[in-house]
Structure 1
Amino acid sequence: MRIYTCENQCGKSFRLSSHLKKHMSIHTGEKPQTCDSKEKLHSCSLCGKSFSRLHNLKEHQKIHTGVRDYMCFECEKTFMTATNLKRHQRIHTGEKPYMCSHCDKRFSQSERLKSHEMIHAGQKPYTCDQCGNSFRQKTQLQVHMSIHNGEKPYPCDQCKKSFAQSSKLKRHMNIHTGEKRHECNQCGKTFLWNSCLRSHLKAHSKEKPHSCSVCGKHFSQLQNLKVHQKIHTGVREYMCFECEKTFITFTELKQHQRIHTGEKPYKCSRCDERFNQSETLKRHEKIHTGEKPYTCDQCGKRFRHKDQLRLHLSVHSGEKTYHCSACGKSFTRLTYLNKHTKNIHSK
């Protein structure tokens, strides 16, 4: 039996020359001649959809019957049509027959090539009728529309929080799993998200190009400078609708709202205790690890937390920052002042 091979492009073989010719149009980009007639003689008795070919109607009807008679022999996954099976098999073979004429990037599906080519053309045919934002893909527009309609179809099965996008849910799930896949190649510190790693890397470069015009403080990121400047302006634009307390940043508002909701999304992987802030979880985890990274340069004593070291240093400095409003006596620690007030003045 004669075999017809796609020799110059991808080496794929066919039993019929007509199949090879049809296949070659993938590489050349040639569109086969189509009939001008738009008559669709074959209609589905279940949903009324019409087709110009009987074969296409039969393939469509499998949606209603659920028949999946095309099976992949690699993983035994089944499909309704031969086309879907072929497309799936490229996962196993690694075949990418669709090549971009602009950058030579290859794709396993023609739809993905078309979507990619819009990047080069700068084409964004899908426009939001609410705000005028344009998108390359229809799915991107659909995801964007959830911003306007408030729809959040992706719930977290751990804390019941919902998200408008599946990607946002995946990002959120890292909080519960504690998985930190993004590691700093300079100090080994790991992060839940790549964006946090990028921000952290600027600490190593020590580059702080953004300075505050009021106090001269420098920042590695413009966003951090903008947040800082609200300290000087006093702008507190984020308000809690439960208690009407206001906050400088949206992050502070979100943290505060957990007081009302009781949400504790940060779970300790050692003892399952939960916390409403990531910083509180980090402090807690040091109990399990025994880590004490803060050392007193006066006596060598070590502490788990920075504020514990600050408190301890007052022992060496003799500084007494806590004053009794009743008698004027001063103390190095707040606990000492509270004890004094209770024992002396509350009697």
Structure 2
Amino acid sequence: MGIHLGQIALGRFATGHHVKNLFTLGDSARLVAVCDVSQETLDGRDERLADCETFTDYADLIDPDRVDGVIVSTPNSHHFGPCKLAMERGVPVLVDKPLTMTVREGEELVALSRDCDVPLVTAFTRHFMPATEYVRQQLRASGDVTVISAVQRGGRTGEPPADGGILHRRSVHVLDVIPWLAGSPVLAVEGFTVAAEGFGHAVVDARLHLASGVLGRVLCVQDSDQNEDEVSVYGESASYRLNKQIVLAAQNRGDWTAIDDLPEAGGNVTTWFVELLAGRLSSEAQKRADLHSEDGLQALRVLEAIVESDRTGRRVELKP
């Protein structure tokens, strides 16, 4: 019969990533229920979802007799409710980043996931990109990394305050991927921000001090006509530039060259979640994401530390 899933919210990322990926799995997994607060959105859903049960209240969808797991793609400020209810009912959760809007909410969900022994996975999609995996493997083999720098410019305009601004909506990805690449947690943060008009931040400039001694640098500029999303890794003998699916490498002060032979990185987070529910993940594959969203919680801690450092003008220490 395959894995039966419920999709909570049918926004752009849900339909363009999760639903799209599930369509490739055939009989091994299918959406049996979808939820959105907009009846118009439900009525206009993809015709391939015509047989799904539809709901405007996620509480009616979340039922272990109906679904084996749920994917939560609501606006960021509404992640907490459906994640909490699903775990209380014994239903595993894949939730889009960020895990929640606050560390306090994140800690409650992580604790609930552990107490109930129900998977709660934050959808950090870059853990599954071949480009990221290539650089991660190189760093694991050589240990040659001094600085990891991330630059993000541009952001969708007109996003609601519920999404939290560029830090929550977008840059939380790099707050996770820097320690993911380095294989080392962030221990301290120094941050400077410029408030955006209305809510959120127009500019974020932060330093992340990792336990291994690696320095992380993060620059986010929301109001830009140019879209940039690049992570650069600098070592003594080799350096790398990642732009999502593309990797450039430079050896011993040589020119930057594209890396074409990239490794398989385990598909995508949606199909990984299906394999988790089906009990088909190897022990190595399970390392792609934390089963209780400790990675999602740690990214929130770094995010809040940046804001706190800006407020106080001081370096903020994080728990190891």
| TM-score for the superposition, normalised by structure 2 | 0.24
TM-score by length of 1: 0.23
Tell me which protein shows more strand as a share of its residues. Answer: 2
Higher normalized contact order (CA 8 Å, seq sep 6+, divided by chain length): 2
Rg larger in structure: 1
